[in-house]
Structure formats: structure tokens, C-alpha cells
Amino acid sequence: MKLQFYKYQGAGNDFVLFDNRDNAINHHDPALIQRICDRRFGVGGDGAMFLENEEGYDFKMVYYNADGQPSSMCGNGGRCIVAFAKHLQVIDTETNFLAVDGPHYAKISEEGDWVSLQMIDVNEVSRDIDAYLLNTGSPHYVQLTNGLAEKDVYTEGSAIRNNDTYRAEGININFVEPMTEGYFVRTFERGVEDETYACGTGVTAVALAMAKHHNQTGIISTPIKVLGGNLNIRFNYDGESYTDIFLEGPAKQVFKGEIEL
């Protein structure tokens, strides 16, 4: 059958989206998702998302990684599906929706291309030698580095993600370099099993970890540069817990079309 799809990107993190409010698409099929996300034989994307109805919420976000497996929370995916919901006239400029890690609130610009997404609160940050470990909806490993523009993120990130500690459950690997304002971040994502142009939960994890690293507290706003553009994370940190965390950045429709499945 032919299905209409929409291609969205948020700072270069790209996704294939479907309106599944009628539940016509049975998406519990890894091979189907893999085909959709294949950049040569399908539409191509870091993941696929299905917007569905959910009682008590504006909609539900169902997300799959490009490997066909259900994923933990995707921050840039969350921002893109908010833009998609506005395009479908499901929402106007504010929304409360349900994702795999629970409810999320978001605001979107009148133009529909800038989304501020509230992330889950974070109460625990641990260490693996010199790296920070935390879960911002997905598990993340944050490591400060130098010469990030030249770093082999695929090789080094894959080695950490697949070591004895993280192989079974997987973890996303973020390499961080300070800039004059904010940080430059490159991420190796589990599920995609490659470097992506951006990772929303990853840059969120970086901002929180760096606040802890520099003993910053209070209301903090952290600009982040990624390969696909610029994002901003604002939050409140009291020295123990991170609250009112918002991931902010662009979310744009690239094109729409039909795919035979």
C-alpha cells in the first residue's frame, strides 16, 4: 500500500513522520522501519515517528530508531513531531503530548519552525573515570575533549558504546569541546550506530553535565553548536537536581511524498 510521509529535520537530525491517528499503519515491524529509514532504498532518516491519538493528550509520539527498534526519548524528534502536529492543525502554539518517557510540554513559534520542548527532570549524574553519565530520556556518556572538529567520532564513539560496560543496553556517546560561548558537541548514537548531525537528549545531557563540572547553579542557558546547526538548553540547577529543562531549536519540514510499502 502507499503511505504519505513527511520528512522533517531539527538541526540536521532527520526523521520520517506519519500521521497514524487512524491506526492504519502497523509499525511494529523492524524490517519496515529499516526500509523507511534506509538512505538508499527508502526515504532516509535517523528515525521514524508516528503521530497517534492518546486520551488526555494532544497526541502520542511513537518513535523508532533507524535500526527498526523502539527507542528511548529523542529530543530533536520530539521537537519535529510538535512542528508536524502544528502542520496537521492538531495543535496551535502549545501542546502537551505523551512520549515513551512520559508527558512533555512544548511551545512552538507562530511560524511553526522553532520549538521549545520541556525535557524530563534529572536527579542523578554519575561518573565513569573522567566522563559523566546521565539519563535525559535516553542514556548518555559525556566526555570533554580537544580537537573535536578532527576527531574520529565514529571509531571512538563506537568503541565506547560497544565496550563491556555498555554493549548490552547501549549508550549515546557525546564528545564536548568548550567554545567562547557554550560548547561544540558531536554524538555517536546507539540505534543509528553512527554519528548524527545532532542529538537533542545528547546536547541536553552535555549542558547539564557541564553545569555540574563547573559548579554552576541557578537558572542557566547553554548554547550548543552541532554539525547540523545550533541549539539551546535552559534549565534550573540547585546543585542536586535539574528542573525546568527546555531543549530549543529549529524544526522544519523538508519535503513530503508517498512510499509504497
Looking at the annotation, which residues are catalytic? 74, 199
Q: What's the rounded Cα separation, in Å, for the pair 188 and 155? A: 9
Q: What's the rounded Cα separation, in Å, for the pair 181 and 192? A: 29
Instruction: Determine phi and psi for 62, rounding to 5 degrees.
Output: -110, 120
Q: Which H or E run includes 35?
A: helix 30-37
- 259 contact partners, CB below 8 Å, separation of at least 6: 2, 3, 5, 36, 42, 43
Kindly state the cell numbers that stand for 187: 554524538
Residue 76 in contact with residue 47, Cβ under 8 Å? no
Q: Is 174 exposed, middle or buried (0-12, 13-18, 19+ CB in 10 A)?
A: buried
CA 239 to chain CA centroid, Å, is 25
Q: Is 56 exposed, middle or buried (0-12, 13-18, 19+ CB in 10 A)?
A: exposed
- Report how far apart, in Å, the C-alpha atoms of 5 and of each of 41, 96, 162, 175 are: 15, 23, 33, 33
